Amino acid sequence: MKHPSPLFLAIDQGGHASRALIFDACGGVVAQHHADISTFEPRPGWVEHDSEELVARTRAAIDGAVQQLGADRYRLEAAGLATQRSSMVCWNADTGAALTPVISWADTRAADRLSALEFDRSEVLRRTGLVPNAHFGASKMRWCLDNVPAVQQAAADGTLVMGPLASFLLHRLLAERPLLVDPSNGSRTLLMDVRRSQWDPFLLDIFGVSPGQLPRCCPNRFAFGSLVLGDLRVPLTVCTGDQAAALFCDGWPRDDTFYVNAGTGAFIQRPVVDLADQQDRLLTSVVWAEPNKTLFVREGTVNGAGRALTWMNGLEGRVADFRVCEALQEEPPLFLNSVGGLGSPYWRADVSPRFSSEASFSLKLAAVLESVVFLLAKNAERLRNPPLPHQLVLGGGLGNSPRFCQSLADLIGLDVLRSEQAEATASGLAFLLADGPVNWMRAEYEVFAPSENAALNARYSAWSEWVDSVLASKQN
């Protein structure tokens, strides 16, 4: 008797929505559902989601996708979870109740506290793979301990748990109520030894965090617990970060390829084997860790990608749709894109976004889009170690702009392969859930070949000099 082929449930909790997609054993999508989430910015630099709403919307996405299966829901073999990596929550270990909102990866409320701490930043970089920054979880945890009475009371009672959003969702969604953290999410707290995927006592001491207040470390592939879906229990066997999962949407990542995901933020990643050659202005990230198999990437991050378009909405009181600048021939101004803080390789939180000159709304949009290209190019320059890359694979919402894709190809000098896979995170997560089958459905790509673009290169040089001069003036 022929057994029905298995199905895999991929849960993708992102900055704008919770998504649940169900894949067959070859990578085809058979059902999907999404539920939008709210984002709040109560003060400058603060970015939050309502914790209970986020749990409810994630559960709604799961239930909505599973209901579409009907009797085929019994074919569900495993589930996986991918989340925003640096977002964090405090909650009660006994009740599961959230003690804080979800404090987003984009939140920088603790920047002053972090800069006031005295520690060897090069040693933190060596241990964590991260440039110390308020986007990561540790300074946010410290802020909560110092400022939130409910967190302080739970710490006194011994019921406090602080951790990545992934750990909170695992605790709330799974029947076993686990307190676990995977390496891809845990390593974005600034508290984890990136090589051992374990909490580091040296780092815990810097931020005054007790190991008993953190989830237990485990591999990315693990028996996390079970989702109860009516009369069905589905084991959740993979947990990772959204950017880490997206790398696997077309199979195991290649070390001769740049991978860019340009959504709310833009991230450029390249797999590495040797961690000895640490770039002091880039990040080292764990994208997969299980016994005897660990993959790291060097990573550059641009905080203001789609988030910069949202910033334009507030600045101009108009809808910032990049399609209006696709056919523009006039040269745009330059834009210092420090929306959400200036990320790698600059790492500056003390400079405000600005244009080099006044211009029309459409030209300003073109400048914002171009600034993301420029920042990605700055990071790509630092990632060009042997073997030399021969292509760039692009996913995310900004990839819908042909102008963005072609500018990236022209400036970096590589073929840009724009993925036609709209749900790269979920697809990569499903690939991992299915344990990397050789017959996995490969993504289709539109190729943007590099061309000579003297005007773009000239603007890039002018932009680089202008940004350097602005940053130098802020230091004086």
Tens of pLDDT, residues 169-201: 999 999 999 999 999 999 999 999 999 999 999
- Asked if the model's pLDDT at residue 1 lies above 60, the reply is no
185 and 221, same domain (yes or no): yes
Classify residue 433: in a domain, yes or no.
Answer: no
Mean pLDDT to the nearest integer, 55-82: 97
**Statement to judge: residues 79 and 223 lie in one domain:** yes
Both 256 and 185 in one domain: the answer is no
End residue of a domain, out of 241, 260, 282: 241
Is residue 19 situated within a structural domain?
yes
Which CATH number does the domain housing residue 196 bear?
3.30.420.40
- pLDDT one-digit tens code per residue, 411-436: 999 999 998 776 889 999 999 999 98
Q: Is 434 within a domain?
A: no
Query: Residue 413 is part of which domain span?
Result: 251-420+444-476
User: What pLDDT is attached to residue 3?
Assistant: 62
What pLDDT score does 346 carry? 94
Based on the fold, state whether residues 176 and 313 are members of the same structural domain. no
**Whether residue 138 sits in one domain with residue 231:** yes
pLDDT-above-70 percentage for the chain: 97
Domain boundary among 193, 222, 241: 241
Mean pLDDT, the chain, as a whole number? Answer: 93
pLDDT tier at 370 (50, 70, 90 boundaries)?
very high
- Is 285 contained in some domain? yes
* Mean local confidence (pLDDT), 150-156: 98
Tokens of 324: 């209006």
Residue 428, in any domain of the structure: no
**End position of a domain, from candidates 185, 206, 241:** 241
Most confident of 44-48, 50-54, 309-313, 342-346: 50-54
Say if residue 401 is in the same domain as residue 287: yes
Is the domain of 310 the same as that of 413? yes
Provide the number of structural domains found in the chain: 2
Same domain, 104 and 178: yes
Residue 38, in any domain of the structure: yes
Same domain, 278 and 220: no
pTM higher than 0.85: yes
Question: Amino acid identity, residue 393?
Answer: V
The model's pLDDT over 97-130, given as tens digits with 9 standing for 90+, comes to 999 999 999 899 999 888 888 899 889 999 999 9
- 301 and 338 inside one domain: yes
295 in the same domain as 223: no
Per-residue burial over 386-424, b = 16 or more CB atoms within 10 Å of its CB, e = otherwise: eeebebbbbbbbbbebebbbbbbbbbbebebbbbebebb
For residue 457, is it within any domain? yes
pLDDT in the model for residue 91: 98
pLDDT band, residue 476 (cuts 50/70/90):
low
Say yes or no: 135 and 217 in one domain. Answer: yes
In a domain, 165, yes or no: yes
